[in-house]
Amino acid sequence: MFPLIIDCTRPNIKGEGFIGINELHKNFKRYRSMLLDMRGLLSGQRLKYGCESLTPETYYATIAASQNFALSSSYFVTNDSFGNAVISSAGSTFISGHLICPGGAFGLNGANTYYTSSSTAGGETWPSIYSTDARFRVPVGSGTYARSNRGKLCDLVVASSVQGAAVQVATHGQLQLLDGDETNNKWAIVRINPGLISAGSAS
């Protein structure tokens, strides 16, 4: 890697003398976080998952109350009986889209691991991708991706608010596998199963 050099003689931004120990500590935590992120990238992990297509079709989805969104997660959703988006799970029988989380939802540089939507149902509105030809990079939640899985269907799985692909499991087959990480088994490239894209009710 590269050495971390902190100049303790640099005046602070207000010009009130030298940099303080609190600022040094904040800088250290920020650089340490950057180094850990880089280590994750080298092992095949991603800082954030999501759509990799250039111009997918979207609509605006209202979000159900108190939905937990993890930074290192995919955001496939299903509509509840009120028409609000809830995080899809292994038991979801259809997918209404993939949410695009608003900028800053997780804080500066992804400082927060989770974001919880408003406690009021429909209190937030986010864009949601419904294109069946849109490609998404998602974490592998269970199973082991192999090249022989290309083209096959798989389920979603949610653990500790992190949604990902359940490779080699296709009870409902919400996703179709297009590619994946054959080295570290960290991610898969998927699209929504065209047969399960719907705006119907989850209940």
In a domain, 160, yes or no: yes
pLDDT mean over 74-97: 95
For 148, other C-beta atoms within 10 Å of its C-beta total 8
pTM higher than 0.85 for the full model? Answer: no
Decide if 201 is inside a domain. Answer: no
pLDDT of 21: 54
| DSSP conformational letter for 102 | P
Question: How far apart are the C-alpha atoms of 45 and 37, rounded to whole Å?
Answer: 9
The count of residues in the chain is: 203
d(CA 42, CA 123): 38
Q: Are residues 113 and 69 in the same domain?
A: yes
* pLDDT for residue 45 is more than 90: no
Residue 203 belongs to a domain: no
86 and 34 within one domain: no
Q: E strands along the chain, which residues?
A: 50-51, 58-62, 68-70, 76-79, 85-87, 97-99, 114-116, 125-129, 136-142, 153-159, 162-166, 175-180, 187-192
Mean pLDDT over residues 98-110, rounded? 81
Mark whether 55 and 15 lie in a shared domain: no
Say yes or no: 109 and 171 in one domain: yes
Q: Is residue 51 pLDDT above 50, yes or no?
A: yes
Residue range 119-143, pLDDT digits in tens: 999 999 999 999 999 999 999 999 9
Distance separating the N- and C-terminal Cα atoms of the chain: 52
Examine the domain organization and report whether 81 and 142 are in the same domain. yes
Number of domains in the chain: 2
pLDDT tens-digit readout, 170-187: 999 999 999 999 999 999
Q: Please tell me the predicted confidence (pLDDT) of residue 200.
A: 54
Say if residues 48 and 71 touch (Cβ distance below 8 Å): yes
